Structure 1
Amino acid sequence: MRSIWKGAITFGLVNVPVKVYSATEDHDVALHQVHDEDGGRIRYQRRCEICGQIVDFEHIDKAWAGDDQIVVLTEAELSSLPAERAREIDVVEFVPSDQLDPIMFERTYYLEPEGRSAKAYVLLRRTLEATNRTAIVRFALRQKTRLGALRVRGDVLVLQGLLWSDEVRTANFSALAGPVSVTDRELELSGALVKSFEKDFTPEEFSDDYQVQLRALIDAKLARGDSRETHTTPEAGEPASGGEVLDLMEALRRSVDASHRRSSDTG
C-alpha cells in the first residue's frame, strides 16, 4: 500500500506520528464508453464554454458560482488555507463507542505508526480498547475539513470519516406517522423467522455476483476471439474528430487521479 499523507494524532501534549492509507479499494471491472461501429473510445473534452477551446488541467481553477458572478480560486490560494496545510488529526473528545451511529460513517483509513518507536501508537490503541471509547477527531484531507472517528481494528488504529450532523437527513414518512398495530402472534412468528436465519457474520462468504459474471463474460468473449484492436487516441489538448460526446465517468476518474497525485506529492 502507498500512504496518502503523513501527519500526527494530537491530544493534549501527546503527539503520535502516523502514515495514512486508504483501507478499502474498488475491484469492480472498469468499463468504458465506445463507438458501437468501430470500438473507438468516447473521450471527455475539457472545453471552455466561453472561448470554445479545450483546456489542459494546468489552466483549470476552481470557482464559487453565485447568481450572476463567480469567484475564481487558484490552487495556490486553496492550498494556503490553514485547514489544508494542517497535518494533524486533532482529538476533540473520547466518546462511548456505542454512541456512534453507523449512518454517519464515510471512508475508512488505516493509520501506521511512523518512526522508530511505536510506543505512543500502541499506548493510544490499548487505551481505547481498555476504555471502550472512540476518539472524535478533526482532520483535513484533499482541501476539506473533516470530522472523524478514531477507533481500534485488530492491532491497528483506523480513522473513519464522519458526516457532519446537518448532512444526515431526517426520515419523516407519513406511513409511520400514526400507530401501527402488531399482534403478539405476528411478533412471535417474525422472531421465529429471524431465528431460522441466525448465523455469525463471515464477510468472506459473500461475493459480488455481478462482477464475477461480468468478468466471466469478458473472459469468454476473449477466448473465442470476440474482441477488437485498440486504436491510437488523440493527444491531450487535441480535439477528437467527430461529435463532441462527453464521458462524465472518465472526467471524474481523471479528476480523482489528479487529486490523488497532488495529495501523494504533498505527503
Structure 2
Amino acid sequence: MRAIWKGAVAFGLVNVPVKLYAATGEHEVPLHQVHKKDGGRIRYRKVCSIEDEPVEYSEIAKGYETDDGQLVVLTDEDLDQLPLATEREIEVIEFVPADQVDPILLAKTYYLEPDRTAAKPYALLREALTSTDRMAVVKVALRQRESMAVLRVRDDVICLQTLLWPDEVREADFPILDQDVTVRPQELAMASSLVESLASDFDPSGFEDRYRAALEQVIEAKVSSGRTQAVPQKEEVGEGGQAAGEVVDLLAALQRSVEKARGGGGAQADEAPAAEEKPEKKAPARRSRSKAGDDDGEADEKPARRSTSTRSRAKKADDEKPADDKAADEKPARTRRKRAS
C-alpha cells in the first residue's frame, strides 16, 4: 500500500508520528464508455457554458452561487488563506465510550502505521483504547478539508475513521411512524422465533458480489468465443481537449500549403492556359491560322501576369477577333457563288 498522508497523533504530551493508508477499496469491473461503431473512447471536455470553448485547467476556479443569483468566485489564493490548524496533526479532543458513536456518522476508514521510532507510544495508545473500550475523537485535515474522526482499534492496528458532521445527517421525518400500532404478543413471539432461526455470527467472507461475478462471466464468455476487437489507437489529448493527432494533421496541412504557395506558383500558371484554350475548340474554321492561334495562346498567358489595364486591353482585342473571323469565313462563300455562275 502507498501512504496518502503523513503526520502525528497528539494526545496530551505524547506525540506519535504515523502514516495514513486507505483501509478500503471498492472492487468494480472497469467499464468505459466507447463508441459502438468503432470502439473509440468517449472523452469529456471542460467547456465554458458562455463561450462554448474548452477551458484550460489553469483557468478554472471554484464558484458559489448565492440565493439571490449572485456568483462568488473563489481562487486558489482564497482557499490557501483558510485556516487549517490540524493540517499535519491528528489532534485528540476527548475519549468517549465506543457505543456512543452512532454508526450513521462513520464514513471512510484509514489505517495508521507508526514510524519505527514510535512503536512504543503507538502500542501504548492502542492498549489504552482497548482496555477502556473507548474511541478517541480527533480532528484532522485531509485533502484541504478539516474532518471530525475517531480512533478505534481493529485487531492490532489503530484505525482512523472519518465522521460526518452532525448537520450532514438528515432527519428521518416520516409521519406514518407517529401512528399507534398494536403488536400482539403472538406476532412478536413468531417474529422472535424467526430471528432465532436465522441467528448466526457475522462472517462477511461468506458473502459475494454476485453482480460483479456475473458480469465477469459475460466478459470471459465473449473473450473465449473471440467476440473481441482491437483497441483503437489512443490519442493524447492536449490543452483545450484537442487530440494531439489533430494538431499534427493541422501542422502538416499548413506546411503543405506554405510549400505550395512558395514553389507551386509556376504550376498554377501552367494550368491557366489549359482553361483558356477551351474557347478555341469552338472555332474549327481557323485552319490556316494554327500558328497564329499558338501565338494567341502564348499571348493569353501574359495578361495573367499584367496589370488590370493591360488585361482589359487584351480582352478588348479578343472581342474584336470574331468580326475578322466572320469576314474570313464569308470570303470563301462569295468565291464559290462566282464559280457556280
What TM-score comes out, normalization by structure 1 length? 0.84
Kept after mapping to 2: 8 A contact 1:7/1:87: yes
Give aligned pairs, total: 241
- Distance in 1, Cα, partners of 2:182 & 2:58: 63
1:235 aligns with 2:231: no
Shift of 1:172: 2.1
2:84 is paired with a residue whose SS is: helix
Question: Percent same amino acid at aligned positions?
Answer: 50
Larger radius of gyration, structure 1 or 2?
Answer: 2
- Distance in 1, Cα, partners of 2:220 & 2:135: 45
Shift of 1:145: 1.1
**Which residue of structure 2 aligns with residue 147 of structure 1?**
148
Report matched runs for 1:18-29 at 5 Å.
Answer: 18-29=18-29
- Distance in 2, Cα, partners of 1:230 & 1:214: 20
Structure 1, gaps ≥5 residues long: 241-267
Q: Which amino acid aligns with 1:103?
A: I
**Which residue of structure 1 aligns with residue 38 of structure 2?**
38
Deviates more, 1:46-55 or 1:157-166: 46-55
The answer to which structure has the higher helix fraction is: 2
Q: Which amino acid aligns with 1:233?
A: E
1:117 is paired with a residue whose SS is: helix
- Distance in 1, Cα, partners of 2:163 & 2:22: 15
RCO comparison, higher one (Cα < 8 Å, 6+): 1
Kept after mapping to 2: 8 A contact 1:84/1:144: no
**Which residue of structure 1 aligns with residue 54 of structure 2?**
54
List per-residue Cα deviations over 1:153-175 (Å, max 9, x = no partner): 01000011111111111112122
- Distance in 1, Cα, partners of 2:7 & 2:47: 37
The root-mean-square deviation of aligned C-alpha atoms, in Å, is: 2.0
**Which residue of structure 2 aligns with residue 258 of structure 1?**
none
* Distance change in 2, residues 1:193/1:78 (3 Å): same
2:235 is paired with a residue whose SS is: coil
Kept after mapping to 2: 8 A contact 1:78/1:84: no
4+ long deviations beyond 3 Å:
none
Q: Which amino acid aligns with 1:235?
A: V
Structure 2, gaps ≥5 residues long: 245-341
2:162 is paired with a residue whose SS is: strand
- Distance in 2, Cα, partners of 1:239 & 1:85: 42
Kept after mapping to 2: 8 A contact 1:84/1:141: no
- Distance in 2, Cα, partners of 1:229 & 1:80: 50
Report matched runs for 1:109-148 at 5 Å.
Answer: 109-148=110-149
List per-residue Cα deviations over 1:18-69 (Å, max 9, x = no partner): 1001000111101111222222221111112233321233332222233443
- Distance in 2, Cα, partners of 1:24 & 1:216: 25
**Which residue of structure 2 aligns with residue 6 of structure 1?**
6
- Distance in 1, Cα, partners of 2:219 & 2:85: 43
Kept after mapping to 2: 8 A contact 1:22/1:110: yes
- Distance in 1, Cα, partners of 2:77 & 2:111: 29
**Which residue of structure 2 aligns with residue 74 of structure 1?**
75
* Distance change in 2, residues 1:85/1:230 (3 Å): farther
Shift of 1:217: 0.8
- Distance in 2, Cα, partners of 1:115 & 1:166: 39
1:215 aligns with 2:228: no
- Distance in 1, Cα, partners of 2:183 & 2:22: 45
Kept after mapping to 2: 8 A contact 1:45/1:239: no
